[in-house]
Structure 1
Amino acid sequence: MITKTRRSELTLPSRAGYCAPRFDRRVFGIENFGLKAGVLNQKFSIKSTVETNILQEIGLSKGESSVYLALIRLGPTKTGALASKAEISTSKVYKILDKLEKKGLAGHITKGKMMFYSAMEPGRILEYIEEKEKKLAEEKEQVKSLIPLLKVEKSLAGEQDDAIVYRGYKAMFNFYRSILDELKAGGEYYVMSAGYGDNARGVKEFFQNYHTQRTKKKIKVKMLANYETKDTLVPATMVCSEVRFLPKMMASKMMVVFYKKKTFMFLLIKEPIGFLIKSKEVADGFHDYFNALWAMAAKSR
């Protein structure tokens, strides 16, 4: 209930020390309005900071996080309003929007001559994380396959006199022929990431003849072939041999052959290059790695 008040009571006198009537804030229900507004602003600021931090932890930059949150709150918008809301210069907004679109977190439409940007559904963030996890798992497997090669390269510093460089497919063929010359009947060698490289036709012809000769000499091979060769290995490969296939994500153009104290690594590219290392330590290291991969590889049919 509002009580009547004389006009003189609402006029602020000029004399010092006078206090305004106590009823004014209570009458209009705004006694704590300033305090409540301050609390709301503080909560919004804290919430915004938390959201930004989470987005940065999953891989977005500070600018990407700010722009994405601004898009969420504004809806379809032009770059000017977006830059203002995100507190980022317009010149930077375009670059950030491009990155967000590539990550699948933002998109745009054109209306007339104007371009409007908007955030994708928030659930897309989970898909983005899942894609990162999948890529990280693939990178982890690639690093696993790279580590033995790096160890070999590191060991070369003390093995320079025992390392021989090979260039071209003919050099690779010559190495394989040397295996047949060195190993006796019942001997065995190992191959990792077996494949045919970019010159598949010529390489296949060589290996069909080579494995025929190997079988005649009763030399065994234990092979981890790239998954892509599962249905294309030349028939002679499967005789007097054990063959398994590496998972797709572990396929490599770096073929490794080892036996006794020799390890031969050959990169099957357009202009192939490889090197032969004579070191029991290196060969033993690859043997251990081979056994680990063998346990997880798929058997040939």
Structure 2
Amino acid sequence: MNLDTLKQLDLDDREISIYMTLFRLGPASIRDIAGQTGVNRGTTYEILKRLAARGIVSYFPKGKRRVFRAEDPERLLQLAEEKQNALKHTIEQLKTDIIPGLHHLKPDFSSGNVSFYEGDDGIELVLKDILATVAHQPEKSYSVFSSKSLRQHLYRPFPNYTTQRIRQKISVKVIALGEGGEDAEYSERKWIRTQGQPDASYIAIYPPKVAMISLASENYPVATVIDSVEIATAQKVIFDTLWQLL
């Protein structure tokens, strides 16, 4: 039985321990519960009060003492459903009210519109942002300038990136600097022939953002993401014009 699942109901380790102890003991006093769990009596009482407030523990008087018991475990499912419904409401409020309101308060451009990332973890965040941003657009597509020398390093932290892009039916147009590049579904590719190998670089244009990824010393990846409709639009015009000429 995987008790870690109960943590998804906002129960901590001691709450879970006391709850499970009540099932093993049946109705029990605070002293008995504290003795079985190793939690001091004061803390045990406070935890029992919290569990009772959530309806998964109840108590009844027995002489001068209170005896506690665990409620039907179906109550756990009810808690999960309540949390799910609350989360759905939160998501709806974020979509329709909070996020639009925050965007309205945000200045047209500030230093906060430029983000820097580094290392494999940073590049993975940028790649996930590309998919997440494009997935919510009417036309699920984006454009890329890519050089051969970066390709072997780009998807190192996110090897199933292309698989996820295809699964979400996101299209990409790639202008490759130099030779190489693999064909894949929902992908079109054209080439700019170069003399010698161009510097490692990758520019993704996914309005309202542009991500620029390159390699520092020892193939250490770094990225800059600019969140600007104007800049992304200008880059898209440049890309589309060049695409038609190739």
Could you tell me the TM-score, scaled by structure 1's length? 0.39
Could you tell me the TM-score, scaled by structure 2's length? 0.47
